[in-house]
Amino acid sequence: MAVASLTALAQTTEPYRPECDHDHIESLVGGVAMSLGVERVVAPTMTCLLKLWREEQSGTTRQYESVAFLTIMEQNPQFFFSAMADERKVFREWLGELEGTFVWPLDPPCPLETRRKQLIAMLERTYVGPGAPTMLKNAVAKKLATIRCRQIK
C-alpha cells in the first residue's frame, strides 16, 4: 500500500507536502528512501527537517533528525549538499553532533559501523558539484572517517 502510494506520488503533479513534526520523522525518512531520492520528495522533506532542527534547542530529537539527514545525503547527495551550503549554521551543528548518530544501545556487533563505512564509500565516489557542496561533502567524509560506533549499555 505504501509503495503504491509513493509510486502514485512520483507520477502526480501535486506538490509533496510531508507532515512536518517530530512525531513523523520515521515516515519522512521512509518517504525519502522509498522515493529513491526523487527531488520532489527530498526537497520538501529537507525543508521540513531543517525547520525541525532549528526548532529543537534541547537536542532530544536531533539524533533522529541526524539519521534523516544521513538518509537524504545517501539518497540524493547533490541536493543534500546544495541545501546544506545555504544552511551553514545547521550544517556545523549537525556535523558537530554526528558522532551521536552512531551510538548503539544493544549487544555487539554494532550495525551502524557498517553503515558508516558505506556512507564513506558512497561519498568517495559521488560528485556533488563545485565549490561549497564539495567542501561540505569532504567535511562529512572526514568526520565519518574519524568516528566509530559507540556501544553503550
For residue range 99-145, what is the model confidence (pLDDT) as tens digits?
A: 999 998 888 888 999 999 999 999 999 999 999 999 999 999 999 99
Q: Is the pLDDT of residue 5 over 90?
A: no
Q: Determine the average pLDDT of the residues in 22-42.
A: 93
Contact 77, 128 (CB under 8 A): yes
Distance separating alpha carbons of residues 118 and 87, to the nearest angstrom: 25
Q: What is the model's pLDDT at position 38? A: 95
Mean pLDDT calculated for residue range 52-73: 89
Nearest partner of 67 among 53, 79, 82, judged by Cα? 53
Secondary element (H or E) of residue 81: helix 77-85
pLDDT at residue 60 in the model:
74
What pLDDT is recorded for position 56? 85
Report the pLDDT value the prediction gives residue 10, as an integer from 0 to 100.
Answer: 54
